[in-house]
Amino acid sequence: MLRGNGTRGVKAAGPCLVSLEPAAAMPGGEVELRGTGLVSTAAVADAVLPRVTVGEQAAVLSLSRPGRAVAQVPEGAITGPVVLAHGGGASNALDLRVAVPMADGLHPVANPAVDAEGNVYATVSGARGESVPVSIYSIARDFEMRPFVRGLLNATGLAFGADGFLYVSSRAEGTVYRISGGGSVTTYATGMGIATGIAFDREGNLFVGDRSGTIFKVGPERGRTGGSIASVAPGSAEQAGGELGDREIFVYATLEPSVAAYHLAFNDAGTLFVTGPTTSSNQAVYAIDRDGRTTVFYQGLGRAQGLALDVDGNLYVVASLRGQRGIVRITPQRAASLAVSGHNLVGLAFLENGCAALATRNALYHVALGIEGRRLV
């Protein structure tokens, strides 16, 4: 005869997963599982944790409750099912998209850039004033990594123009360079302060973030003085000799100085979004309209850095949201959620087929997010 609460001898229901957030993560990032029966009261009392696997890799649990668990994605994990097991039973599986290494030996400080053929470009920026053997690498679709440019000092922001050339800022020199498909370097604009993030609008204007507090607008080239721009060595005296063509350059907006770099991205309406890390843990994403008026688009992020947009107008920001680090999705209605969990991220770029390249402080990762990115030019 059963006595007491009448539950003895009744088999408890097994664990059931209802949701997994975010749906993508870097190795080392944390994901939150919600469901029912994720751990029993007896197991909690006996300090017996459930077991979570990502594919075939065991994950480390940092929190375990009957309705909620938090697991860290293990190194070496790949995209696959997440399953929680305890007490002899296993849950249903929920899929997690895991980023995999794409290239290492890098030092990005902003977004990577992607050309029309799908090749990805990333910097080895180095410490301020440090000369490195290779300034920019190109990474092919098969992840083969090749040196692309040498001799640029502190290569920082990257962006492709409508002309198919790659543009890069040097924060040490306050210069923006233009680079051909063959890797030839010419000077495009000088006097840009501590030049960091760069972005083009649909009219071909280049916007440059001087992290000391200025957003410059550099108009399209209307002509060249003294003939065509010759390829010269970065930092040479020839670069200051009037070979920069006829361009209008002026201050577009001013912001609070950044401790690291400005990061820039446009939406289809021509609004320029800007982030710049400060010492605050309540940082803003700024929106600058076509007339240079600045407003706060979203506030409440930690160390906000690289930016990108999808075709639906959602903004993706490398930042911390409510203590969780990764890539934050902010809708046009300004609702924020974590899209990718991960640490040490500085930037991102959308690729074809819904994939993305994620930049950490020393490497690039590849992940299938199922998101179509906005065309940049």
CB 298 within 8 A of CB 285: yes
Mean pLDDT computed over 6-30:
80
**Which pLDDT value is given to residue 46?**
53
Of 95, 92, 43, 94, residue with least CA distance to 66:
43
The per-residue pLDDT for range 257-283, each reduced to its tens digit, is 999 999 999 999 999 999 999 888 899
CA–CA distance, 99 with 358 (Å, rounded to integer):
8
CA–CA distance, 275 with 319 (Å, rounded to integer):
10
The per-residue pLDDT for range 363-372, each reduced to its tens digit, is 999 999 999 9
Q: Is the pLDDT of residue 12 over 60?
A: no
Q: Indicate whether this model's pTM tops 0.75.
A: yes
Structure tokens at 180: 């051909």
Cα torsion angle, 105, 316, 339, 323, sign: positive
Q: Which amino acid is at 122?
A: A
CA–CA distance, 50 with 9 (Å, rounded to integer):
22
Instruction: Say whether the peptide bond before residue 22 is cis (omega within 30 degrees of 0).
Output: yes
CA–CA distance, 176 with 168 (Å, rounded to integer):
6
CB 366 within 8 A of CB 143: yes
CA–CA distance, 18 with 35 (Å, rounded to integer):
5
List the domains of the chain with CATH numbers.
Answer: 16-98 (2.60.40.10), 100-368 (2.120.10.30)
Structure tokens at 113: 């850039």
Mean pLDDT computed over 11-39:
92
Considering only 113-122, 244-253, 311-320, which range has the smallest mean pLDDT?
244-253
CB 82 within 8 A of CB 65: no
Averaged confidence pLDDT in the chain: 90
The per-residue pLDDT for range 78-93, each reduced to its tens digit, is 999 999 998 889 999 9
CA–CA distance, 188 with 248 (Å, rounded to integer):
12
